[in-house]
C-alpha cells in the first residue's frame, strides 16, 4: 500500500483517521478509516513502526466519557516476531488506563486456528491487558490452505453485546471481518474493581521492566538458567499478585 493507492481508495462517508505507508517494498502498510460522524484524534505511533516487523497506526475516539483506541496493525510473514511482540507490548502499555478501551485489528500472519508457540506468546501478552481474539473462522482461503491470520482483539468483558462475521470481497486474497458492538458499558463497581486490577498490572509491568535479568545468562547450564529466570519471574509476579491465604 502506498500514498497513490490510498488516494484512489475512497470510501463514501469515511475519512482516513491514521495511516502508515511503505516507501519501499510492495504490499504491507496499515490504515484506519473513521465514519465522518465520529470525532477522533490520530494516535502518534509512527515513531515505533518497524517495517515488516510491525506496521501500525491508530486513532482515539471519545465514547460515553471513555477513551476508545482503534489500532490497525500489519506484521509481514518475513518480519521478526519478537520485535513485533515487544513493540506491541510497548504500545499497549502506553495506552492502557482504567478509562480506556483498546481494539486491535489487522493481519498478524499467524494462524489462530492452529496452536503454536508464537500464537501462545501473543495471546499471553495480550491477556496482560485483558485483550482476546474474537475471530475463530478462516480469513484467508485458497486452493491449498484455510487459515485465520487476521484477527480482532478487545476486552470482551467491557462490551454488552457483539457479533463477528466474515466479509467476502474482491479487494484482497483475505476476507474481511465485521464486528458489531452494541454498547460499551462500565458500572461504578466494575470501574473500581478494574481500577484496582490495572494498578496491580501496572505495578507488575513496572517491576518486570526494572528488573535486571543479566545474571540469568551467566551460566552455560540451560536448566540452571531456566530455574533462575523462573524464580525471578515468580518473585516479581507474587509481589504484585500475592496468592490468597
pTM over 0.75: no
Q: For residues 117 and 125, is the Cβ–Cβ distance under 8 A?
A: no
Burial class (CB in 10 A: 0-12, 13-18, 19+), 235: exposed
Beta bridge partners of 61: 40, 68
What is the reported pLDDT for 152?
Answer: 95
Dihedral (Cα; 167, 118, 18, 9), 10-degree rounding: -40
Neighbours of 117 (CB within 10 A): 8
Element (H, E) at 176: strand 176-181
Residue numbers of the chain with a pLDDT score lower than 50: 187-189
Rounded Cα distance between 105 and 147, Å, is 16
What is the reported pLDDT for 189?
Answer: 46
β-pairing, 132-133 vs 30-35, is unpaired
Rounded Cα distance between 116 and 97, Å, is 30
Give the closest residue to 137 by CA, choosing from 118, 119, 152, 127. 152
Size (the chain), residues: 245
Domains of the chain by start residue, with CATH: 3-185 (3.60.10.10), 189-240 (no CATH)
Cell numbers given for 203: 505495578
What is the reported pLDDT for 86?
Answer: 92
Q: For residues 228 and 219, is the Cβ–Cβ distance under 8 A?
A: yes
Q: Given the C-alpha cell 497513490, which residue does it identify?
A: 4
What is the reported pLDDT for 188?
Answer: 46
Q: Given the C-alpha cell 463477528, which residue does it identify?
A: 164
Neighbours of 210 (CB within 10 A): 8
Element (H, E) at 63: strand 55-63
Give the closest residue to 63 by CA, choosing from 178, 161, 158, 190. 158
Rounded Cα distance between 18 and 12, Å, is 17
Amino acid at each position: 500500500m502506498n500514498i497513490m493507492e490510498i488516494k484512489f481508495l475512497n470510501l463514501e462517508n469515511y475519512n482516513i483517521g491514521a495511516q502508515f505507508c511503505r516507501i519501499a517494498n510492495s504490499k504491507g502498510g496499515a490504515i484506519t478509516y473513521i465514519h465522518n460522524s465520529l470525532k477522533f484524534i490520530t494516535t502518534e505511533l509512527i515513531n515505533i513502526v518497524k517495517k515488516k516487523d510491525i506496521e501500525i497506526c491508530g486513532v482515539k475516539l471519545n465514547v460515553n466519557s471513555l477513551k476508545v483506541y482503534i489500532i490497525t496493525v500489519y506484521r509481514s510473514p518475513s518480519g521478526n516476531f519478537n520485535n513485533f511482540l515487544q513493540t506491541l507490548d510497548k504500545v499497549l502499555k502506553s495506552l492502557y488506563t482504567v478509562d480506556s478501551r483498546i481494539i486491535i485489528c489487522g493481519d498478524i500472519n499467524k494462524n489462530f486456528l492452529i496452536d503454536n508457540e508464537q500464537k501462545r506468546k501473543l495471546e499471553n501478552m495480550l491477556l496482560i491487558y485483558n485483550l482476546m481474539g474474537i475471530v475463530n473462522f478462516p480469513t484467508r482461503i485458497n486452493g491449498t490452505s484455510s487459515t485465520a491470520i487476521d484477527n480482532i482483539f478487545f476486552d470482551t468483558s467491557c462490551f454488552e453485546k457483539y457479533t463477528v462475521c466474515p466479509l467476502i470481497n474482491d479487494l484482497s486474497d483475505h476476507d474481511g471481518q465485521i464486528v458489531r458492538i452494541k454498547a460499551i458499558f462500565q458500572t461504578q463497581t466494575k470501574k473500581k474493581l478494574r481500577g484496582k486490577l490495572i494498578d496491580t498490572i501496572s505495578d507488575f509491568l513496572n517491576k518486570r521492566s526494572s528488573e535486571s535479568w543479566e545474571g540469568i545468562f551467566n551460566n552455560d547450564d540451560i536448566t540452571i538458567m531456566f530455574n533462575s529466570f523462573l524464580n525471578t519471574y515468580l518473585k516479581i509476579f507474587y509481589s504484585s499478585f500475592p496468592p490468597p491465604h
